[in-house]
Amino acid sequence: MRSLSWSVHSLFVGPILLAGLAAQAQSVPTPAATTTTTPSVLAPGLLAPDFIIDPPVPQPAAPQVETLPVEQPLRLEVEVSKRRVSLYRGSSLVKRYPIAVGRPGWETPTGTFQVAQIVHNPDWMNPMTGAVIRGGDPANPLGRHWIGFWTDGTNWIGFHGTNRPESVGLPVSHGCLRMHNRDVAELFAQVQIGVPVTVRP
């Protein structure tokens, strides 16, 4: 009979405890919903734009084309009486060189010609005997550079070096124009086939 009374008591206590817990649960306030706001990163005084416009991309500048001056052509002018040859570029004098000219009976021809031969280490044939001295031979009276501008079909006349530098400036050649070896080497490096050659008395 004792155990039965405990069970009945338990039946009455259980619902009361549950009802109390339910009432307590209803009395606990529900926390209010919170909203997190991201702080603005704009500088003070600036308003956030509705949208952002990318700045225009600058167009590349047009390439600058440099116009180079047209190089004036070279020409040679020989003055037999002054025993010199002048190198011109256009109307500007580049340099003058002393020369030996043709002896009496072998005068240097006058007129207007053009460079027709450019030879390094030319052979030389004696116009009197026909003997040939090969190019590069120290005994070769033409030296190491030859610039030919006149021919009669057999013989040639032109600028050349010499193994007799003391003769430069004198009328001693067979019509050719002797030059100091350093001078004709300098001239040789500048002229080309077709350069005009004017020979004046």
Catalytic choice (120, 145, 176, 180): 176
Report how far apart, in Å, the C-alpha atoms of 188 and of each of 2, 8, 29, 147, 181 are.
144, 139, 112, 7, 10
Catalytic annotation present for 120 = no
Catalytic annotation present for 160 = yes
Angle (CA) 127 145 130, round 5°: 15
Catalytic choice (9, 120, 145, 160): 160
Pairing of strands 84-89, 92-98: antiparallel
Angle (CA) 192 198 201, round 5°: 145
103 burial via Cβ count (<10 Å: 0-12, 13-18, 19+):
middle
Enumerate the active-site residues: 160, 176
